[in-house]
Structure 1
Amino acid sequence: MEPLTLAEARVLGTLMEKARTVPDSYPMTLNALVAGCNQKSARDPVSNLSEAQVQEALDGLKRRSLAFATSGSRVMRWEHNFQRAMVVPEQSAVLLGLLMLRGPQTAGELRIHSERWYRFADISSVEAFLEELRDRSEAKGGALVVQLPRATGAREARWAHLLCGPVDVAAAAASAEARAAGDGALAARLALLEEEVAQLREIVTDLATQLGLSPPGQQKTNDRA
């Protein structure tokens, strides 16, 4: 299959998400799809696609039989045809949809993020479907995901989809390293703040004792008693 553009992947992933999470609003109008593509949550990276860009992406997906328009209402609505076109089970479609919307993720992250889409029994189940997508035969179109090198300090390797073509492993690794470094810096900052709060608590408790007052927190306990 011809590789998807980034906009096509975002539109397709959004259609797949909304079909499972808000079925009452599905199929989707163009306006609703634009809003879904550009929402701030559950998207990495966050996009700012215009109505024209989303329509162009829909036309590209329709050409590949991955999406189609439905009639019967005053406003044209769109739905995806991913599982049938790609010949994959529901579980695999869920994982690919999440990877299109949120970028590379570990099996553990995919299991957590898939809760509203599909409930996997455990991480091993997620890994089994990822491996199946990775080892897909050429007769079926070849691999649809790739396992990225594990980032320094990371416990799990992340997975990326191949629907937009080959992944730049070096760039993905650099992104993972930056992400890990950011997480490490945040953890260090949090630990420092916790230490400072503990020191301040000791100072306040000492001052309260010198003034003959109940330490913070103890007064409320005494009042309840």
Structure 2
Amino acid sequence: MTDATTPSPVPVLDATQMRVLGCLIEKESTTPEAYPLTVNATQTAANQKTARDPVMALDAGNVQHALRQLETMGLARQHFSARAERYEHLLGGRLDLPRQQVALLGLLLLRGPQTAGELATRSERMAKFADAEDLRHQLGRLIQRALVVQLPRAAGQREDRYMHLLGGPVDVDALAVQYRAPSSGAADGGALEERVQQLEATVAALQEQLAQLQSRLDG
């Protein structure tokens, strides 16, 4: 008999499902006025040019199929509306995770391996951590659950990087080499990238509000 207190196994997600789930997690916090997300809003979020690694070009059919698959897995839920299908993620409840750990997984789903420092900066709008030690503690809990892995440092790296395991086992050595320390030029562009991400989130929210207004006018 299965122990009722033991979290159920985590389904292995494909690339589209991971991107879509990451978007639902992110937008819950960054654009709450447009959440749960429509299929179109999820597609826009999935295909953002910034704050995504890798950049993808998913069509609406791919996104809708991924949302329905996530719903079947118990990782998302549809909200029925007369105007449009809307979806919210259920990752926290499905895996019994606190908001902080859900936010960390969301960032890793969207942007690939990251350092604790990068996660701290990028999670400011998604979850609150007492300090850097608290964030590392939450990462440690995810590692204990086999949801995250710590990558060995490659040449030139000063900090450890972390990667989620929602897509199944990963080649940690290959990833460690792939994500080398960024050049000074890339580091200087980090702040600009974050500002662009905020602007994209604002535009997405405005587009969603305009779509809702148009639906009311058409009605």
Instruction: Flag whether TM exceeds 0.5 (same fold).
Output: yes
1:30-41 map, 5 Å: 30-41=39-50
Report how far residue 86 of structure 1 moved.
1.1
Distance in 1 (CA, whole Å) between partners of 2:177 and 2:158 is 16
1:56 counterpart SS class: helix
Deviating runs (4+, > 4 A) in structure 1? Answer: none
Task: Please tell me whether the aligned partners of residues 152 and 173 of structure 2 are also in contact (alpha carbons under 8 angstroms).
Answer: no
1:126 counterpart SS class: helix
Partner of 1:199: none
Amino acid at match of 1:77: R
2:53 counterpart SS class: coil
1:48 counterpart SS class: coil
Distance in 1 (CA, whole Å) between partners of 2:68 and 2:84 is 16
Whether 1:70 aligns to 2:97 is no
Task: Give % identity.
Answer: 49
Distance in 1 (CA, whole Å) between partners of 2:178 and 2:104 is 21
Distance in 1 (CA, whole Å) between partners of 2:114 and 2:56 is 18
Report how far residue 73 of structure 1 moved.
2.9
Distance in 1 (CA, whole Å) between partners of 2:37 and 2:133 is 33
Report how far residue 10 of structure 1 moved.
0.4
User: Is there any run of 5+ residues in structure 2 with no aligned partner, and where?
Assistant: 1-9, 187-219
Partner of 1:183: 183
Whether 1:163 aligns to 2:172 is no
* Count of aligned pairs: 177
Partner of 2:132: 123
Whether 1:145 aligns to 2:154 is no
1:1-225 map, 5 Å: 1-136=10-145, 143-177=146-180, 180=181, 183=183, 186=185
Structure label with greater radius of gyration? 1
Amino acid at match of 2:183: D
Structure 2-normalised TM-score?
0.77
1:79 counterpart SS class: strand
Report how far residue 170 of structure 1 moved.
2.7
Distance in 2 (CA, whole Å) between partners of 1:36 and 1:176 is 23
User: Is there any run of 5+ residues in structure 1 with no aligned partner, and where?
Assistant: 137-142, 188-225
2:167 counterpart SS class: coil
1:88 counterpart SS class: coil
1:159 counterpart SS class: strand
Report how far residue 55 of structure 1 moved.
1.3
Report how far residue 176 of structure 1 moved.
2.0
1:49 counterpart SS class: coil
